[in-house]
Structure 1
Amino acid sequence: MKRKTNVVVTDNTDTLKQGRFLTINRIFVTGNRITRDRIILRELSLKPGDTFFSNDLAGILELDRRKLLNTRLFNTVEIKTLELEPLKIDLVIDVNERWYTFPAPIFDIADRNFNEWWQNYDHDLRRVNYGLRLYQYNMRGRNETLRFHAQFGFQRRFELMYRFPYIDRKQKQGLTIDLSFTETKNTAFKTDDHKYVFLKDEHILKTNRLAGLTYSYRNSFYETHSLRVEYFDMHIDDTLKLLNPIYYKGEQLDQQYTSLTYTFNSDRRDFISYPLIGYQFMLQATRNGLLAKDDLNKFETTLTYSKYWDLKKNYYLSNNTIVYTSYPDDVSFINYGVLGLRRQFVRGYELYVIEGPHFFLNKTTFKKLLFSRKYHWSMMPISQFRHLPLSIYLKTYADVGYVKNYPDYKERDINTRLSDKLLGGTGLGLDVVGFYDLVLRFEYTINAETEHGFFFHIKREF
């Protein structure tokens, strides 16, 4: 006769809701074919032997579930409890791992965003890069990342990066090593009315080499400190210097320097890929020119704060503030600070780059969840792609920004139309959020210059 075991699987049962002190006995991990247990256990606030009040269990497990999802190693995470004794429980963590190998052809536009390529450059297919991109996530099951980039076309680029999130037993210290080489026959050499002007030639106009080493220290779940050392070696053709005398300072055609960057990141967002609750604070300070022989002497800092509110009934509010400042303000063109790169732009000004040693940006978005569903594609032979979440948000937004102009532009009375004045943009849009961090943004915006139009973006707004 088989002996029956008194095991009860619970998820916030009435027994636990009565309120009592419980002790974690064991923690089991299932579903991780590649990821090592210690990478998963590192994200948990509960450890074997910990004692806590049962009424707090649901909140603790939900926070731990979110932390595991924010590693971007898993499609889904489920944490259950097994109660073997009245005052002891086991935890069972069931994960569905993502697909970690992404070899993909490169067919990208060379411009800052789709809108600039489509409108400013008449969707010219000659401004396209092609090649091969390889991402290998979760190397050796330790959440390590390998990135290889071989690109041709508008810009020739080779890049190799390897990231070790943890190099010590306590899993608090990490290292990232990266190397890159870029050369191009078509490059921006100046700005006219806040738009880049490009030069194309039959020979190489610009060559960049970069070597970087980043040390990170993550003492808690939410705060990370990092220190990055970089070496830059850049060379330009004399044609660029003739067309723009301040492309590099002086008569030189080369710029070589070292830099040191400190970054502090406090990240308490619910889901990094598309946050709805929480906040993120980031401080970044960079000293360019550590050695006396370096060709660049510049100090710059960036403060970023993002806040997200759940207003209930599927309404959400978010706000993002960025403050950038740099010294001195007589650097060369290639080292100018710019509002208009990456996600740092006022919506409605996607077609412009507004240069200045100091700028301020604030974005506010109010949105309503229209649709949210998780599909399970059982016929898909690859299990990592069977989980298909889809959410759609209707939103309205308002952005403001301000850029202080460079003295050189003021003296020559160029690129002054959008600097030293308040910038603003507002509009309506739809966000489509899919699997593997895919975010498609469809926006119709009008800016303070009364310019308006449709803008398309990939990835979240901030």
Structure 2
Amino acid sequence: MFLALLSFILDFCLLSNPCLPQPHAYPASCRVTPASDSTKATPYTIIRTITITGNKKTKRRIILRELDVHPGDSLLNHRIDTVLLSNKNKIFNTNLFITVDLSLQNKEGNVADLHIKLKERWYFFPAPLFELVDRNFNEWWHQRNRDLTRVRYGLRLTQDNVFGLNQKLELLFLTGFINQYSLSYRMPYIDRAQKMGLSFQVSYTQNKSIPYRTEGHQLDFLESEKILKEQFSSAVSLRRRSKFYDFHTIALSYHQSKLADTIPQINPLYFLDGKNTQKYFKLQYTFEHNKTDINAYPLNGSIYRGSIEKYGLGFFNDVDMLATTFTMAKYKRLGRGFFADVLLRGRYLLHQRQPYSISRGLGYGNNLLRGYEFYVLDGQHFVLNRNTLKFRFVNTRKELGFIPIPQFRTLPLAMYFTFYFDTGYVSDRFFTEINNRFTNRFIYGTGVGVDIVTYYNMIIRCNYALNSGLEHGFYITFSADL
């Protein structure tokens, strides 16, 4: 009942529009050939065969898994463009291809072949890394005085599409402000039916500087020449794709951390009770229904996601919390280059006591209320609502012939003017003594900006915002919505 009510609210806010989804920069590079006039002769077209070209590495079955069209199927002629667009987007969302082309060819009467033309991405990235360790670029630029020592650098070795099966292997070696070494491997399908997937990850991290508390909604860091915190984590997850757009995931992870004695002395709540060690298992179940056109930057469709997380399974008695979170988002094309989206996200935490180490409200990751880029709002429960109106004023694709590597020659570019109004609420009863300006009250942020969508799902957001504290500023972020 609650989810149905929320869905109704989101649909109402977006003024449901029957227009068909239209691609932005990414799917614009995935052309759909319009149905010819000859389709008017009969009410339907039968798909005779499906041919695929351009998949030099990717196995055919990985591509066919995304289709809801099969040889022998009949397509109503007035829905051909819609069906091809939907299937094109699903192939593109595998993140295996730069461009995707779907067209009907060799038409004889009411029978035709479906042809899928692909251009594969570059799959091996031995990428040198130079990353900021702060929450976002704005915090580093304004509050950390553009300190170049607050970076981590090293090498990330990423092999996408291992064996042509969309598997992913990643090795990470980082040093500098943070030392981190990790290994992860993801197999989207491990069964013949291509419904079950498996992944695992292991990571070890050393910190010589950590945020040990939040004061005035800003992180206080302690720095040392010695290691202040060591963390080890491992995780395994099993995912089932029950339908085209529905995913169920169960993940079990183990977390172990050790602090230098200095940290619990100045903040006994970091691990609770002045402890300098923390160990716990975490069990999480997530359901996601994702029916958007392009996952990286949706313009049409909807997402529903809910999860239950149990911190601590009774083995170590260090942590005992149960959290439920939900996300609902609607994206609509309004016509004439205008788009709108509404996002609603929330968390409710059942607990006895909450360690500061895993206290996360708004301001972390994608849980950001625009206009509050400088702040973190620690708490147990929160609600976040983001509302955006967009106008696309650039939508193009360029072929850069001077680039020697074919996978980097195609430059998609889309730009959007944005107007937004965000609201939020963080409920807190543990950290209010030194963080009470924005918690336990409704807050808002509003402003205008420009979103840039380009190479390999890169998103750059430039915003000018005003928050409920009447503070205003210009902010740059590089994160997606979800």
Pairwise TM-score range, normalised by the shorter structure = over 0.9
Q: Which whole-Å deviations, capped at 9, do the CAs of 1:71-116 have from their partners, x for residues lacking one?
A: 1111111112223542432211100111111111111111000011
What root-mean-square deviation, in Å, do the aligned CA atoms of Structure 1 and Structure 2 show?
A: 1.4
2:38 is matched with: 15
How does 1:197-208 map onto structure 2 within 5 Å?
197-208=220-231
Q: Which whole-Å deviations, capped at 9, do the CAs of 1:266-307 have from their partners, x for residues lacking one?
A: 111111111111111110110111134341111011110111
1:409 is matched with: 431
- Relative to the length of structure 1, the TM-score reads 0.95
* CA shift for structure 1 position 238: 1.1
1:253 is matched with: 276
Unaligned runs of 5+ in 2: 1-32
Aligned residue among 37, 45, 54 for 1:31: 54
2:474 is matched with: 454
Contact in 1 for aligned 2:238/2:250 (Cα 8 Å): yes
Contact in 1 for aligned 2:415/2:452 (Cα 8 Å): yes
Q: Is 1:55 matched with 2:78?
A: yes
Q: Is 1:125 matched with 2:148?
A: yes
2:285 is matched with: 262
Change in Cα spacing, 1:84 to 1:126, as seen in structure 2 (3 Å) is: closer
Unaligned runs of 5+ in 1: 1-9
Q: Is 1:155 matched with 2:178?
A: yes
Q: Which whole-Å deviations, capped at 9, do the CAs of 1:240-276 have from their partners, x for residues lacking one?
A: 0001011112243211111111111111111111111
Contact in 2 for aligned 1:217/1:226 (Cα 8 Å): yes
* CA shift for structure 1 position 335: 2.1
1:318 is matched with: 341
Distance in 2 (alpha carbons) for counterparts of 1:294 and 1:71: 40
* CA shift for structure 1 position 432: 1.3
Distance in 2 (alpha carbons) for counterparts of 1:245 and 1:59: 58
Distance in 2 (alpha carbons) for counterparts of 1:30 and 1:78: 10
Q: Which has the higher contact order (CA 8 A, sep 6+)?
A: 2
1:387 is matched with: 410
How does 1:343-422 map onto structure 2 within 5 Å?
343-406=366-429, 408-410=430-432, 413-422=433-442
Contact in 2 for aligned 1:441/1:460 (Cα 8 Å): no
Contact in 2 for aligned 1:316/1:368 (Cα 8 Å): yes
Distance in 2 (alpha carbons) for counterparts of 1:461 and 1:145: 23
Distance in 1 (alpha carbons) for counterparts of 2:215 and 2:225: 23
Q: Which whole-Å deviations, capped at 9, do the CAs of 1:143-190 have from their partners, x for residues lacking one?
A: 011111111011111111000000011111000110000111111111
- The alignment covers a number of residue pairs equal to 450
Distance in 1 (alpha carbons) for counterparts of 2:34 and 2:440: 57
Distance in 1 (alpha carbons) for counterparts of 2:221 and 2:164: 44
- Please tell me the residue identity of whatever aligns with 1:124: D
2:187 is matched with: 164
Distance in 2 (alpha carbons) for counterparts of 1:395 and 1:71: 27
Q: Percent identity?
A: 36
Contact in 2 for aligned 1:329/1:357 (Cα 8 Å): no
2:447 is matched with: 427
Larger radius of gyration: 1
2:30 is matched with: none
How does 1:436-455 map onto structure 2 within 5 Å?
436-455=456-475
Distance in 2 (alpha carbons) for counterparts of 1:308 and 1:106: 33
Distance in 2 (alpha carbons) for counterparts of 1:452 and 1:20: 57
- Relative to the length of structure 2, the TM-score reads 0.91
Change in Cα spacing, 1:159 to 1:190, as seen in structure 2 (3 Å) is: same
